């Protein structure tokens, strides 16, 4: 009964006494694979990036510092040591980095190489691919050069270990990977103090940074009822333990959720989205949870399942206060239903942060405006970072309803919003800034609607990577 995964193509069956809450980063380094580095132990710098190789050939970069060994069970992983050819020849991704002279101190480099290894398969925007990796030396130009020259991924899909084991860890350090909801509820009854682990991108800090080691962990990764995304005409149903990456992938292909997808692209990084879940965001009920304002604005509903049976609850009624929610003891969030905006409706999910990528919101603002011709028939406005919890702003909604959406109306609604909120004053922004910016986000939304060609977000402006160097 031990943790089993494939690492760099080799089957690893860990000794039964291995603590399952040990981070993959610590384990790798102790196992004599120091290529994976610790830069921050909080999932923000990416120096510890390793890649999950899925059976279909897909690749997900993850932060080894936030990933427990238990979460690796049954997966195929690759670390930087597993890229070079047996004769030591660099992998094409490494060769591209070499050709671009994209290293200086080299400490962030293995993590960047692994992100690029995933990117070679995932494709997409280079900055999005690099959002989870910090480099303090190069200024990124040569790394972007390397990315522009990446060869297409040709590596074969891995074989993941097959395992029926769903529980492991020595006494006092148990780790459960239940396959079904009933089993999960039974485990919760048996281990009332167990930590519920979804993706672990928030909880992981307690292992990684705070070095905690709970007696039992119930990981929701394999609970079938909590996984998968199904589309219905009126919306989409998302498993609470489905990683953001899958939700983004789904929403990116559905025009009605374009705005939501845009926000998800800024939620953490690819590393965070590969593990993090909507269920986790709801469970922590943080006032600045990125996904909460759009869920509120769209009127998302939750299926909660517990010892007392199942119930359905609007996200609005679920969030109770600062990091407080309506979960009853033993209950879990099973699924999230996100209603589809009606045709012709305006939906936007805005986020302000000091840095565009991989930053926690100072403010989030999501707006749904349903229209009949020019007239707004229903407005739903929700904010994050503007009070003890993410919440709706009925005062601002009332201003907009039953009138055409004009600049003056947007301004009036913005003023109402600014008056209604009670933002905090902290390192991410002063209360005053949050008030002004929240107001202005509504005004900017007006321009987005009125002049969509002009009112793009500055970070979305087309800015091709175009370096030039002239040496004598």
Partner 1 sequence: MNAPLAQGAALAHDSALGHVTGRAPFADDVPEAPGLLHGALLLSPVAHGRLGALDVAAARAMPGIVAVLTARDVPGANDISPSGREVEPLFADGTLRHHGQPIALVVGETRDAALTALAALKPEIEALPAILSIEEALAAEAYLLPPQEIAVGDAAGAIATAPLSASGEFRAGGQEHFYLEGQIAIAAPGEDGDISITSSTQHPTEVQHIAARVLGCDFNRITVRCRRMGGGFGGKESNASWVAAAAALAARITGRPVKLRLSRKADMAATGKRHPFLYRWRAGFDATGRITGLEAMLAADGGHSLDLTGGVVFRALTHALNCYDVSAVKLRALSLRTNMVSHTAFRGFGGPQGVLLMEDVLRGVAAATGQDMEAVRARNFAGGTNGSKAPYGQALEGDLIRRVYAEAMEDAGWAARRAEIAAFNAQHPFLRRGLGSFVLAFGISFGLMHLNQAGALVHVYADGSIRLNHGGTEMGQGLNIKIAQVVADAFGVPISRIRITPTSTAEVPNTAPTAASTGSDLNGWAAHLAASAIRERMAAEAARLWDVPVEAIGFAEGRVFVARPGDNRAMGFGELAHRCWVQRISLSATGFYRTPDIHWDAKSMRGEPFFYFSYGAAVVEVVVDTLTGEHRVLRADLVQDCGRSLNPAIDRGQIEGGFVQGLGWLTTESLYWDKEGRQRTLGPSTYKIPGSRDAPPDFRLRLLANAPARAETIFRSKGVGEPPLMLATAVWNALCDATGLTALDLPATPERVLMALEKQSS
- Which residues in the 77-116 window bind partner 1 by CB under 8 A? 79-81, 83-84, 88, 90, 94, 97-98, 101, 103-110, 113
| CA–CA separation, 354 and 459 (whole Å) | 12
122 interacts with partner 1 by CB under 8 A: no
x/- letters, 311..350, toward partner 1 (CB under 8 A): ----------------------------------------
Q: How many C-beta atoms lie closer than 10 Å to residue 67's C-beta?
A: 29
Look up residue 23 and give its DSSP letter. Answer: B
Site for partner 1 in 405-464 (CB under 8 A): 426-430, 432-433, 436-437, 440-441, 443-444, 447, 451, 454-455, 457-459, 461, 463-464
Closest CB to partner 1 among 137 and 157? 137
Q: What is the DSSP string of 399-419?
A: HHTTSB--HHHHHHHHHHHHH
In the bound state with partner 1, the residue whose beta carbon lies nearer, of 80 and 332, is: 80
Please identify which residue in 67, 76, 118, 126 interacts with partner 1, judged by CB under 8 A.
126
CA 177 to chain centre: 21
Which residues, 18 to 37, sit near partner 1 by CB under 8 A?
Answer: 29, 32, 34-37
Of residues 306 and 433, the one with the C-beta less far from partner 1? 433
Per CB under 8 A, the list member of 7, 41, 177, 241 interacting with partner 1 is 41
Task: Give the span between the Cα atoms of 215 and 67, in whole angstroms.
Answer: 17
**Comparison of 11 and 450: residue with beta carbon closer to partner 1:** 450
The least distance separating partner 1 from the CB of residue 242, rounded to whole angstroms, comes to 24
467 binds partner 1 (CB under 8 A): yes
Q: Which of 183, 258, 316, 357 binds partner 1 (CB under 8 A)?
A: 357
What minimum distance in Å lies between the beta carbon of 385 and partner 1?
12
How far is residue 293's CA from residue 299's CA, in Å, rounded to a whole number? 10
Q: How far is the CB of 112 from partner 1 (least distance, A)?
A: 9
Contact (CB, 8 A) for 240 and 335: yes
Binding to partner 1 by residue 469, rule CB under 8 A? yes
How many residues bind partner 1, per CB under 8 A?
A: 93
Cβ proximity to partner 1: between 126 and 305 the closer is 126
Tell me the window of 52-60, 170-178, 216-224, 357-365 that interacts with partner 1 (CB under 8 A): 357-365
The three-state DSSP-derived secondary structure of 353-376 is CCCCCCCCCCEEEEEEEEEECCEE
Residue 206 CB, shortest distance to partner 1, in Å, is 13
Q: Strand, helix or coil at 132?
A: coil
Among residues 131 and 177, whose Cβ is nearest to partner 1?
131
Nearer to partner 1, 83 or 245 (CB): 83
68 neighbors 197 (Cβ within 8 angstroms) = yes
Handedness of CA 410, 411, 417, 420 (dihedral sign): negative
In whole angstroms, the minimum distance from the beta carbon of 154 to partner 1 comes to 19
Please enumerate, as own/partner, the contacts of 261-265 that have beta carbons within 8 Å and a separation of 24 or more: 262/349, 263/290, 263/291, 263/294, 263/349, 263/350, 263/351, 263/364, 263/366, 264/291, 265/125, 265/128
Which residues ranging from 130 to 159 are in contact with partner 1 (CB under 8 A)? 130-131, 133-144
Q: Give dist(CA 61, CA 76) in Å, integer.
A: 12
246 lines the binding site for partner 1 (CB under 8 A): no
43 versus 200: smaller Cβ distance to partner 1: 43
Chain position carrying tokens 């039964």: 16
Q: Are strands 216-219 and 235-239 parallel, antiparallel or unpaired?
A: unpaired
């Amino acid at each position: 009964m031990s943790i089993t995964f494939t690492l760099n193509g080799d089957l690893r069956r860990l000794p039964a006494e291995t603590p399952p809450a040990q981070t993959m980063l610590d384990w790798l380094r102790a196992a004599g694979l120091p290529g994976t580095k610790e830069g921050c132990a909080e999932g923000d710098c990416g120096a510890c990036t390793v890649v999950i190789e899925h059976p279909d050939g897909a690749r997900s970069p993850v932060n080894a510092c936030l990933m427990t060994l238990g979460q690796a069970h049954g997966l195929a992983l690759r670390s930087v040591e597993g890229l070079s050819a047996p004769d030591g020849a660099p992998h094409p991704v490494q060769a591209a980095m070499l050709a671009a002279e994209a290293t200086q101190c080299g400490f962030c480099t293995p993590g960047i190489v692994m992100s690029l290894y995933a990117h070679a398969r995932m494709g997409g925007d280079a900055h999005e691919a690099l959002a989870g990796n910090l480099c303090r030396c190069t200024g990124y130009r040569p790394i972007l050069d390397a990315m522009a020259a990446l060869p297409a991924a040709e590596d074969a899909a891995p074989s993941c270990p097959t395992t029926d084991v769903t529980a492991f860890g020595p006494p006092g350090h148990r780790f459960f990977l239940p396959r079904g909801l009933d089993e999960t509820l039974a485990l919760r009854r048996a281990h009332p103090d167990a930590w519920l682990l979804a993706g672990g991108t928030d909880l992981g800090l307690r292992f990684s940074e705070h070095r905690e080691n709970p007696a039992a962990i119930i990981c929701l990764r394999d609970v079938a009822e909590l996984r998968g995304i199904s589309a219905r005409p009126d919306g989409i149903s998302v498993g609470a333990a489905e990683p953001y990456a899958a939700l983004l992938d789904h929403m990116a292909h559905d025009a009605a959720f374009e705005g939501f997808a845009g926000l998800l692209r800024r939620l953490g990084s690819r590393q965070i989205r590969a593990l993090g879940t909507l269920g986790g965001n709801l469970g922590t009920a943080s006032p600045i949870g990125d996904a909460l304002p759009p869920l509120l604005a769209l009127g998302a509903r939750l299926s909660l399942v517990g010892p007392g049976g199942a119930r359905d609850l609007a996200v609005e009624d679920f969030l109770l206060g600062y990091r407080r929610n309506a979960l009853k003891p033993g209950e879990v969030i099973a699924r999230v239903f996100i209603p589809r905006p009606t045709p012709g409706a305006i939906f936007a999910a805005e986020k302000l942060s000091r840095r565009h990528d991989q930053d926690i919101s100072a403010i989030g603002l999501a707006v749904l405006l349903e229209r009949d011709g020019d007239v707004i028939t229903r407005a739903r406005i929700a904010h994050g970072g503007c009070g003890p919890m993410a919440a709706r702003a009925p005062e601002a909604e009332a201003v907009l309803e039953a009138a055409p959406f004009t600049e003056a109306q947007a301004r009036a609604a913005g003023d109402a919003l600014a008056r209604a909120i009670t933002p905090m004053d902290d390192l991410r922004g002063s209360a005053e800034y949050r008030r002004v910016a929240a107001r202005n986000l509504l005004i900017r939304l007006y321009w987005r609607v009125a002049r969509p060609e002009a009112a793009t977000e500055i970070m979305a402006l087309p800015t091709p990577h175009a370096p030039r160097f002239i040496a004598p």
